[in-house]
Amino acid sequence: MLCVLVACFAVQTGLVYSDDVDLQLSQQAIEGRRLFHEKACQVCHQLWGQGGFLGPDLTNSASRVDETRLASLLTVGSGQMPALHFDSKQIAAMRAFLEELDRAEVGRGELRLGDPDGTTSPQAAFEAAVLAASAPSNAVAGFEVLRSGVCSACHFPFQVSIVGAPDLSTVVARLDESALHEVLTSGRPEQGMPPPVPALSQAQRQQVIEYFRWLNSDRDALRSETARRQSGRRLDWSRLPWWEYR
């Protein structure tokens, strides 16, 4: 019995520490990291997929969020993010921390699923399948709109995710055009669907809807192409420890 327990401990230790990243932070970034812990950002945000699930993963947020927006989020907050009243020194420290995390060699802020090189996750396989298919240009534009947002943190390809985000390849069968515009404008915050940030223009919503239509009509082909690109790397999403994210 004791040997088994010791063996379990050794295996677990190996699993936990084997993918450590040796990250050298500057003094300013270390101050940012201290604030990150002090203000409990991780209650709502993830780093490398670990943390709360109300806000987006921040591992690669520096390249999406410009200085003005970061400053505004950290002072007055937003509809969903509390006003934290950071002063300019604290903002600069947080900026340094987020920038130093956002480097190719440090990894992508996605749920860690098998090979971290980014080409084999279910999402990456799906995106590659979409790009390889010859979709009408409007649909491609809609796809790019989604890809530049945080939608894929909650919506998984071809299945309902554990946080209850539906499969978007079948959404046109459930919602008509005006209902789609509505959810793409205001989200459904009570049900866990945040309003898209930044807001989508009327033209972008139209492109997203075109994309949903195309996705629905080509669903079977895309689904098998996604599976093919991922073959040998199947991962059961439902076995992830989701309680960490909720």
| Minimum CB distance to ligand HEC, residue 158 (Å) | 13
Q: How far is the CB of 94 from ligand HEC (least distance, A)?
A: 5
Judged by beta carbon, residue 11 or residue 83, the one nearer ligand HEC is 83
Residue 81 tokens read as 């993010």
Q: How far is the CB of 203 from ligand HEC (least distance, A)?
A: 15
Look at residues 26, 114, 51 and name the one whose alpha carbon lies nearest to residue 59. Answer: 51
Complex with ligand HEC: residue 6 or 76, whichever CB lies closer: 76
Place of tokens 């790397």: 233
Crossing angle for the helix pair 67-75 and 88-101, nearest 10 degrees? 120
DSSP state of 47: E
What does the binding site for ligand HEC look like in residue numbers (CB under 6 A)?
36, 39-41, 43-45, 54-56, 58, 61, 64-65, 70, 73, 78-82, 84, 94, 146, 149-151, 153-155, 163-166, 168, 171, 174-175, 183-184, 188, 191-194, 196-197, 208
Question: Residues 189, 180: contact at Cβ < 8 Å?
Answer: no
Query: CA–CA separation, 123 vs 180, rounded Å?
Result: 23
Nearest approach in angstroms of CB 206 to ligand HEC is 13
115 versus 244: smaller Cβ distance to ligand HEC: 244
Residues 6+ apart with CB under 8 A from 44: 51, 52, 53, 54, 55, 81
Judged by beta carbon, residue 54 or residue 233, the one nearer ligand HEC is 54
